[in-house]
Amino acid sequence: MNYRVVGGTALAGSVRTNISKNAAVALLAASLLNRGTTTLKKMPRIEEVKRLLEVMTSIGVAIEWNEDDDITVKPPARFDLTNINKESAGKTRSIALFIAPLAHALGSFDLPAPTGCDLGKRSLGPHIDALRRVGVEVTGDEETHTYHVEAHDLYPAEVIMYEASNTGTENILMTAARIEGTTTIKFASADYMVQDLCFFLEECGVKIDGIGTSTLVVHGKKDIALDVVGHPSEDPIESMFFFSVAATTGSQLSVERCPIDMLELELLTLESMGLTYSRGRKYLAENGRTNLADVVLESSHFIAPPEKISERPFPGINADNLPFFVPVATQAEGKTLVHDWMYDGRAHWFTEINKLGAKTTLLDPHRVEIEGPTTLHGAVIDAPPALRPATMLLIGMLAAEGESVLRNVYPVNRGYANLAERLAKLGASIEEVE
């Protein structure tokens, strides 16, 4: 599937932030810890969720997804990995989150690794080190492209994460949840999806101290067999996508249900670049814990920020939000330095926006300099395999004069539901084409 875009016009209207991809996949994995029935509310109909559901069904999990987007999960008496859906597992890195719940259920098993993923320490290092501290051994088999897991006689421990990995923290959290006793996780990620997972585990009867901080104390329980309802919260990365759309296209947009505590530094940085916006009162998400607010962005004149823009662990600028500053910088007077220190090689995808007429220079594997303002023009571009750089290019196309085509948009659909339709309701000329 491709997106055909005719850009260069301002958008207007209101858009509602959807439920978070990263929270949704974490709660799906965590539902396998529960021997009872789990209902997850308002789950996003995105490719990442669909792939995990296909894997879950293939190992014996009963799944129902109703018209209200609620997913009901009922694990089998025993998981059977004999006919696991390797194709679906290979399409999502989130498959690694199944290590923790299956470790409790099976003890010893092989799990397909995502396609193109380097096995072992380089790709799963934070998981491997953290899980070993509580008795779970994970190794990679390059020949079969699988993770091999051995988990026997698990025990509580003090775990120091050598990297504040989101998914690594989630894996050790889920493991600790079913280990009787107290496990302390230090230098844990405090990001939004980790908080959502903590809220869900508390619904399962697992007490967790320090939610929203870098030290989590998990009071685990040996068994979870409850009928549980989970509420993944809204996606701050999607809110930021629409902030960037408004800023880059010179539009006035109202973005509703933004997880505002997760976006404070993003908004402050945009404000330093000239953004004019207003923020409504805070109210709670359906989980009763996450603060939301509606944000109205005005058409603004942008300048390069006084300092470089770089991601940081929460509560800093989210790594997934960093690419969305690139199209904004193309419309800002001066030179903007974007420093993507967290990912090896992702920054080079930022220069793809040059195909639309931007002036972006790759200074080294982690830094790009964007000179603006520039008038963007239409182009045909293959979507990068990375979700956020792909959506960054779509933002540029919405601002570019003339017709553009973003080809092979599966990476976008991994994280965004009905995106073309929602943009069209704001006045964008965009359609899905084969």
- Each residue's pLDDT, cut to its tens digit, for the chain (434 residues) gives 999 999 999 999 999 999 999 999 999 999 999 999 999 999 999 999 999 999 999 999 999 999 999 999 999 999 999 999 999 999 998 999 999 999 999 999 999 988 644 433 446 888 999 999 999 999 987 778 889 999 999 999 999 999 999 999 999 999 999 999 999 999 999 999 999 999 999 999 999 999 999 999 999 999 999 999 999 999 999 999 999 999 999 999 999 999 999 999 999 999 999 999 999 999 999 999 999 999 999 999 999 999 999 999 999 999 999 999 999 999 999 999 999 998 888 999 999 999 999 999 999 999 999 999 999 999 999 999 889 999 999 999 999 999 999 999 999 998 999 999 999 999 999 999 98
Q: How many CB atoms lie within 10 A of CB 240?
A: 27
User: CATH number of 2-18+234-433: 3.30.565.10, 1.10.3720.10, 3.65.10.10, 3.30.930.20?
Assistant: 3.65.10.10
Query: Tokens in use for 350?
Result: 């930022």
Q: How far apart are CA 47 and CA 417, in angstroms?
A: 8
Predicted local confidence at residue 344, as pLDDT: 84
120: amino acid identity, one letter: G
DSSP 8-state symbol, 151:
E
Q: Where in the chain is the domain with CATH 3.65.10.10?
A: 2-18+234-433, 21-230
Question: Which position has the token pair 């509703």?
Answer: 256
Predicted local confidence at residue 381, as pLDDT: 98
CATH code, 21-230? 3.65.10.10
Q: Taking the model in full, what pTM does it have?
A: 0.95
Q: How far apart are CA 303 and CA 226, in angstroms?
A: 54
Specify whether the CB–CB gap between 190 and 214 falls below 8 A: yes
What would the DSSP string read from start to end of 253-322?
Answer: EEEEEEEGGGSHHHHHHHHHTT--EEE---EE-TTSSSEEEEEEE----EE--SS-EE--STTS--TTTG
Sorted by sequence, the CB contacts under 8 Å of residue 129 that are 6+ apart come out as: 161, 162
Predicted local confidence at residue 123, as pLDDT: 67
Distances (CA, A) of 47 to 44, 53, 92, 146, 287: 9, 10, 9, 22, 24
